Structure 1
Amino acid sequence: MALTTAAVVPEAEPVDKTEPSVQEVVPEAEPVDKTEPSVQEVVPEAEPVDKTEPSVQEVVPEAEPVDKTEPSVQEEESESMEPYSFCPSGWTGFDGRCFLYVPTAMTWANAEKHCQGYGGNLASVHSFVEHHEIQGMILRATQGFPATWLGGCDAAQEGTWFWSDGTPFWFSFWSPGQPDNFMGGQHCLLTNFGAEKNFDDGSCSGTLPFVCARKL
């Protein structure tokens, strides 16, 4: 017996062709608060800073007042001249030594012995200022600039000068063209030579006034 198509395939149940909406498939998300926090909320407000910078007086403590009053020339001179009160009468003090002009003319060797009798030597000279002071002392004593023995000598070796007090011969103030060892017989030092009134080499056997010097 032949079966009909309807009998073989049972009738399908009706299908609800209505598709769910997007809202039904994807559940509605909870509402999001899209309001972003303000800068003030994200960054907590900093504590107020005192921008007032300290004054210079606060940073650097005020220095104690300094007495800027400089000593007068008279005060400086009185201090520097104080030790010279120990120079013997008639002697002149300068730079830690006492000087004496002796007007009696003697040979260089006798003049040196005479100065040694005072506890000193013929004067050595170590600066222009010192030479000027010695010349001033001679001028006050004589009212002029006579040739005068000082303590220089090169008798031991020609051209190698030394001072009789043993100090180094570092300073010299020769007149132009001097020393010349004229005639091979000039080995002792004198000052107030020529127009310049400076050093010259002379014959040690000649007689001249001289200047002695001794330490304080």
Structure 2
Amino acid sequence: MKSSAVFVLLAAVFWGSDGVTEAASPVKNDVCTHPFVDINGRCLFINNFAQMDWDAARTFCGGFQSDLVTLDEANLLADIVDFINKEGLTERSYWIGGSDQALEGEWTWTDGTSVRMGTPTWGADGQSQHPTGGNDENCVGLDKDNFFFFNDFSCSSEISLICELKL
């Protein structure tokens, strides 16, 4: 009887209600609700199924009471890239919440704060570091062809997206 009680206790500790170990779950806290997962303390939804332009991506995220992710920390970028690689989501580029649509050359996040320029977030194209698109490329995405560093894309490009639930 004593051994069966220990087994039940161990089973309760190691297995969630759906039969999956808690350690295998990407969610670190109870704040993020499906489809969002906790990445570096932020609730993110990395949607690699849908592909749409930047404005449609903002509308899509808004349907989840969220917006495109604000990547204002290099560690957050690294954690997102780690997640993308670990989950095998590397075949797509992803919209994030930066643009210079309001004023050319003045890159801001959807919340109005400034996007940090240069290293360590923006990728390079030959000898030039992004953004390099001028008036034609005004929205920021994580570029699958450049190790998921920031790249300025045409806002009408149809790529996947990352939503952030603001808590």
| TM-score relative to the length of structure 2 | 0.71
Aligned with 1:142 (options 88, 110, 116) = 88
Aligned match of 1:175: 123
The 5 Å alignment of 1:48-59 reads: none
The structure in which a higher percent of residues are strand is 2
> Which runs of structure 2 are paired with 1:1-216 in the superposition (5 Å)?
84-103=29-48, 104-144=50-90, 146-170=92-116, 173-176=121-124, 177=128, 178-181=130-133, 184-216=135-167
Unaligned runs of at least 5 residues, structure 2: 1-25
Q: Kindly provide the CA deviation profile for residues 51-71 of structure 1, in whole angstroms up to 9, marking residues without a partner as x.
A: xxxxxxxxxxxxxxxxxxxxx
Unaligned stretches of 5+ in structure 1?
1-80
Counterpart-to-counterpart distance in 2, 1:143 and 1:170 = 25
1:134 deviates by 1.4
Off by >6 Å, runs of 4+ in structure 1: none
Specify whether residues 98 and 167 from structure 1 end up closer, same or farther in structure 2 by C-alpha distance, changes over 3 A only: farther
Contact residue 106 and residue 208 of structure 1 kept, 8 A: yes
8 Å CA contact 1:175–1:193 kept in 2: the answer is no
Q: In structure 2, do the counterparts of structure 1 residues 114 and 157 end up closer, same or farther at CA, with 3 Å as the change threshold?
A: same
Does the 8 Å CA contact 1:174/1:199 hold for their aligned counterparts? yes
Instruction: In structure 2, give the amino acid aligned to 1:174.
Output: W
Taking a change above 3 Å as real, the CA distance of residues 82 and 132 of structure 1, as seen in their structure-2 partners, is closer
Aligned length: 136
Shift, 1:128, TM fit:
1.5
TM-score (norm 1): 0.56
Per-residue CA shift, 1:124-161, capped at 9, x if unaligned?
Answer: 11122100111123224434252111111001111101
Structure 1 residues 191 and 168 mapped into 2: Cα distance closer, same or farther (>3 Å)?
A: same
**For the Cα contact (< 8 Å) 2:40–2:79, is it kept in 1?**
no
Q: Report the aligned-residue RMSD.
A: 2.5
Using the aligned pairs only, state the percent identity.
26
